[in-house]
């Protein structure tokens, strides 16, 4: 979601006449921030400190800070880093070019934080970095009250786009050659609540199945509380919806889930997984887990390990609990010592890695369809490999063979036989069994992105936006 927001910021700047910098000598540098984990704060202020001597040497340079941390810290950013020119929040991304011009004209920092959404970000221009895949927001904000999460106070209440607007954007992407779309929302399962249709998300998935040229549909992130059977049926019955589900667990302990205000219990979570697997036996299911939530006991942690083993996750994004000022969990008693959290974290990672490795080894000898993502390949001894994603989201490294990486482009589709399943990826060093050239591959080869804008722009003017950190439970990843 942060990456998608950054694409919108870059699109706005391009529309205002800026061009992406190909060097460190940018006239404008934009930081798009997250506030969910403490390292986001540290990373931002460290980066700003690093830029201070650069700006001292180039007085005309401008620095802008946006996103969740800007929404939270507001004028504090300018106080701690007075060389920052613009601070804007999550609700007024569209104001970035105007604020930069105003700061330049007035020679004083501009801090503008809106308290509610002014313009839905998906209506803004976008500078998409991929010819073959696109992000499409179906909602922004969140109505949940998880005690560890600061997102609702910074992103606001959930606002849903009308289905027709979403489908129009999806159709436009597909018409430009995009093969894969990921639907984005803090809680995609609650989509439609704002306009009174609780079945809207399942209907939206089915409608994506009718979009000509669209081969893959993914979504992130659902909340177990709102997961319904009609969504599972839509996933199973719509051919281009990928057999993949990322559904945050956070904890396997019912007591911890209660104190997190997660609104479901471990038995309910596992029942959803059972229903998904009954409908889609080959589905790859991944999750988010927080270790060391305040008051987590040894028994609570063991309960999490039990659920992880029972669920058989293809992968998990694991986080050590990070107290965030302004969240109820930050003031809870029994905050755990770092050493305890670290030990549990390492045990959880070891258990999940064993499960992931076994699942990936089961793919050895199977043929998988790969949407190529990296055309440059990577060197592994004397073998030059390329990378892409299988339909279930697994990362696949494969050898392009005699065709070579020049013939197989990002956006093309290949079929390969898996020779080795590693803990975090699949390897296919045998011959490519089939290779389908696509319009997305043509666009990459020609140096264009969806919409026909050049991929590599000329003179350096602005720094590439930087999505910072990740949000446990919100579907973004680290």
Q: Distance (Å, rounded) from C-alpha 99 to C-alpha 102?
A: 5
Q: Which residues contact 112 (CB under 8 A, 6 or more apart)?
A: 87, 88, 89, 92, 95, 99
Q: Distance (Å, rounded) from C-alpha 335 to C-alpha 341?
A: 10
pLDDT of residue 471: 31
pLDDT of residue 261: 97
In the chain, what's the furthest Cα-to-Cα distance? Answer: 65
**Strand 395-398 relative to strand 28-33: parallel, antiparallel, unpaired?**
unpaired
pLDDT of residue 243: 98
**Strand 86-88 relative to strand 62-67: parallel, antiparallel, unpaired?**
parallel
Token couple for 418: 């898996």
10 Å CB burial of residue 460 (0-12, 13-18, 19+) is: middle
Domain spans of the chain? 2-118, 126-361, 367-444
Residue 338, phi-psi category: left (phi > 0), alpha (psi -120 to 50), beta (remainder): alpha
Q: In whole angstroms, how far apart are CA 81 and each of 34, 62, 370? A: 18, 13, 45
122: pLDDT confidence band, cut at 50, 70 and 90? confident
Q: Which CATH superfamily includes the segment(s) 126-361?
A: tm_1862 like domain (3.80.30.20)
10 Å CB burial of residue 237 (0-12, 13-18, 19+) is: middle
pLDDT of residue 12: 95
Token couple for 476: 């973004």
Neighbouring C-alpha atoms within 13 Å toward the C-beta of 473: 26
pLDDT digits (tens, 9 = 90+) for 52-80: 999 999 889 999 999 999 999 999 999 99
Residue 227 confidence (pLDDT) above 50: yes
Token couple for 69: 């941390």
CATH 3.40.50.300 fits 2-118, yes or no: no
383: pLDDT confidence band, cut at 50, 70 and 90? low
* Number of neighbours of residue 332 by Cβ within 10 angstroms: 15
Residue 125 confidence (pLDDT) above 90: no
Beta strands in 229-308 (DSSP E): 244-246, 284-291
Comparing 22-36, 263-277, 294-308, 310-324, the range with the smallest average pLDDT is 22-36
For residues 92 and 374, the model is more confident at: 92
Average pLDDT, the chain: 89
Q: Enumerate long-range contacts of 332-339, CB under 8 Å, 24 or more apart.
A: 332/147, 332/259, 332/294, 332/295, 333/294, 333/295, 334/294, 334/295, 335/294, 336/292, 336/293, 336/294, 336/295, 336/296
Residue 474 confidence (pLDDT) above 50: no
pLDDT of residue 469: 30
Strands, sheet with 28-33, edge to edge from the N-terminal-most edge strand: 110-112, 86-88, 62-67, 28-33, 466-467
Among residues 278, 282, 444, the alpha carbon closest in space to that of 363 is found at 282
Most confident of 28-37, 85-94, 150-159: 85-94
Give the distance from CA 476 to its chain's centroid: 4
pLDDT digits (tens, 9 = 90+) for 339-361: 999 999 999 999 999 999 999 99
CATH topology of domain 367-444: OB fold (Dihydrolipoamide Acetyltransferase, E2P) (2.40.50)
The rounded percent of the chain whose pLDDT value lies above 90 is 76
pLDDT of residue 64: 97
Q: Distance (Å, rounded) from C-alpha 4 to C-alpha 6?
A: 5
Among residues 370, 248, 376, 365, the alpha carbon closest in space to that of 318 is found at 248
Give the distance from CA 267 to its chain's centroid: 27
Token couple for 415: 């079929």
Range 146-155 average pLDDT = 88
């Amino acid at each position: 979601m942060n990456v998608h927001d950054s694409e919108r910021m870059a699109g706005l700047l391009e529309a205002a006449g800026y061009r992406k910098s190909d060097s460190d000598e940018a006239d404008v540098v934009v930081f798009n921030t997250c506030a969910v984990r403490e390292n986001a704060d540290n990373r931002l202020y460290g980066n700003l400190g690093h830029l201070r001597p650069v700006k001292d040497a180039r007085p005309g340079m401008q620095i802008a800070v946006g996103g969740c941390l800007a929404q939270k810290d507001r004028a504090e950013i300018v106080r701690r880093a007075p060389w920052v020119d613009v601070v804007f929040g999550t609700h007024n991304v569209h104001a970035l070019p105007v604020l930069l011009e105003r700061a330049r004209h007035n020679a004083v920092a501009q801090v503008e934080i809106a308290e509610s959404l002014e313009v839905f970000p998906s209506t803004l221009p976008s500078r998409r970095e991929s010819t073959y895949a696109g992000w499409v927001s179906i909602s922004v904000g969140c109505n949940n009250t998880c005690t560890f999460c600061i997102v609702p106070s910074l992103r606001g209440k959930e606002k849903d786009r009308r289905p027709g607007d979403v489908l129009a954007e999806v159709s436009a992407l597909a018409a430009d050659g995009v093969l894969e779309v990921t639907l984005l929302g803090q809680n995609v399962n609650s989509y439609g609540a704002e306009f009174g249709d609780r079945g809207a998300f399942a209907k939206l998935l089915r409608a994506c199945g009718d979009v000509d040229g669209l081969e893959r549909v993914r979504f992130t992130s659902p909340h177990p509380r709102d997961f319904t059977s009609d969504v599972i049926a839509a996933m199973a019955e719509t051919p281009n919806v990928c057999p993949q589900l990322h559904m945050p667990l956070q904890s396997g302990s019912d007591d911890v889930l209660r104190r997190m205000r997660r609104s479901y219990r471990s038995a309910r979570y596992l029942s959803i997984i059972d229903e998904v697997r009954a409908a889609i036996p080959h589905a790859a299911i991944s999750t988010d887990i927080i270790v060391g939530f305040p008051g987590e006991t040894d028994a609570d942690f063991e309960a999490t390990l039990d659920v992880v083993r029972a669920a058989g996750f293809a992968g998990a994004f694991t986080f050590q609990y990070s107290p965030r000022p302004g969240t109820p969990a930050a003031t809870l008693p029994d905050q755990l010592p770092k050493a305890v959290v670290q030990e549990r974290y390492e045990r959880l990672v070891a258990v999940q890695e064993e499960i992931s490795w076994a699942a990936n080894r089961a793919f050895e000898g199977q043929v998988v369809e790969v949407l190529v993502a990296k055309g440059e390949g990577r060197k592994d001894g004397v073998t030059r490999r390329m990378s892409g994603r299988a339909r279930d989201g697994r990362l696949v490294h494969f050898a392009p063979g005699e065709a070579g990486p020049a013939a197989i482009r990002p956006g093309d589709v290949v079929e390969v036989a898996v020779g080795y399943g590693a803990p975090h990826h699949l390897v296919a060093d045998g011959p490519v069994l089939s290779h389908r050239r696509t319009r997305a591959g043509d666009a990459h080869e020609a140096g264009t992105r969806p919409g026909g804008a050049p991929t590599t722009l000329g003179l350096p003017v602005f720094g590439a936006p930087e999505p910072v950190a990740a949000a446990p439970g919100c579907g973004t990843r680290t």
